[in-house]
Amino acid sequence: GAGVSQSPRYKVAKRGQDVALRCDPISGHVSLFWYQQALGQGPEFLTYFQNEAQLDKSGLQHGPSDRFFAERPEGSVSTLKIQRTQQEDSAVYLCASKRNSATDTQYFGPGTRLTVL
């Protein structure tokens, strides 16, 4: 009974390094979301895919600026890439998937905890 899985669960990076975070959504789920959750805060939206199409990347454009990129080339697995990591990027990165664009329930993965030193 596979839920959303994310890897790695924990990542430590030195400032300036590039990192790649992976999300495996629930099989057959069309929609995929990425959120960033800082310590003691609620998740904040980063980007949204429907199949392989990135339909909303507004959260990548004016929070983390142009160092954050996401892709989902075959409409299943997704990767969130962070270039030139900064200390303020330290957070838990959550992935969520749902069956299709009309359904309501987003199922979240356990997250990847990124620490930038």
Partner 1 sequence: QKEVEQDPGPLSVPEGAIVSLNCTYSNSAFQYFMWYRQYSRKGPELLMYTYSSGNKEDGRFTAQVDKSSKYISLFIRDSQPSDSATYLCAMSYNQGGKLIFGQGTELSVKP
Rounded CA-CA distance 111/76 in Å is: 17
Smallest distance, Å, CB 82 to partner 1? 19
Residue count of the chain = 117
Which residue, 18 or 56, has its beta carbon nearer to partner 1?
Answer: 56
Smallest distance, Å, CB 25 to partner 1? 12
Rounded CA-CA distance 105/117 in Å is: 35
Which residue, 35 or 68, has its beta carbon nearer to partner 1?
Answer: 35
Note the Cα 94 to chain centre separation in Å.
5
Note the Cα 115 to chain centre separation in Å.
15
In the complex, which residues of this chain contact partner 1 (CB under 8 A)? 4, 31, 33, 35, 40-45, 48, 56, 59, 94, 96, 98, 100-111, 113
Rounded CA-CA distance 113/36 in Å is: 10
Which residue, 44 or 83, has its beta carbon nearer to partner 1?
Answer: 44
Which residue, 82 or 109, has its beta carbon nearer to partner 1?
Answer: 109
